[in-house]
């Protein structure tokens, strides 16, 4: 099992989760984070740190966001590692809790 970043992270990109990850499993896109399933050790430390409530264990991921398991796996191979906490996106508070943001995901690498 691994942890998965789901839709609530899009256009928020809080990085509180990155600061507590003991194995540097997070990867950064322009407006989204993902978890590298090959690096994640299933420690659960990131889940309570996410203000957008976007991180789920693979087993608990809501069905409506099931595609994010594969998306995290794919994008984690393309995006750079992020290990330091940064400011969230300027749109974070506006988009926190908003659903239906999948079409706004920018698959470009962040940094």
What is the spatial distance between Cα 59 and Cα 81, in angstroms, rounded to a whole number?
24
pLDDT for 1: 79
Domain ranges of the chain: 3-96
Question: pLDDT at residue 111 above 90?
Answer: no
Burial of 68 (0-12, 13-18, 19+ CB in 10 A): buried
Q: Alpha carbon of 41 to those of 11, 64, 75, 88: distances in Å?
A: 26, 25, 18, 25
Span 15-64, pLDDT tens digits: 999 999 999 999 999 999 999 999 999 999 999 999 999 999 999 999 99
Fold of 3-96: Alpha-Beta Plaits (3.30.70)
* Cβ-based neighbours of 103, under 8 Å, separated by 6 or more: none
């Amino acid at each position: 099992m691994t942890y998965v970043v789901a839709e609530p992270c899009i256009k928020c990109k809080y990085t509180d989760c990155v600061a507590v990850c003991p194995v540097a499993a997070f990867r950064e896109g322009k407006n989204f984070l993902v978890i590298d399933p090959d690096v994640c050790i299933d420690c659960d430390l990131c889940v309570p740190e996410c203000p957008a409530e976007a991180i789920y264990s693979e087993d608990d991921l809501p069905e409506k966001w099931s595609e994010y398991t594969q998306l995290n796996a794919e994008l984690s191979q393309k995006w750079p590692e992020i290990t330091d906490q940064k400011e969230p996106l300027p749109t974070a508070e506006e988009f926190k809790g908003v659903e239906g943001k999948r079409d706004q995901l920018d698959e470009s690498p962040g940094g």
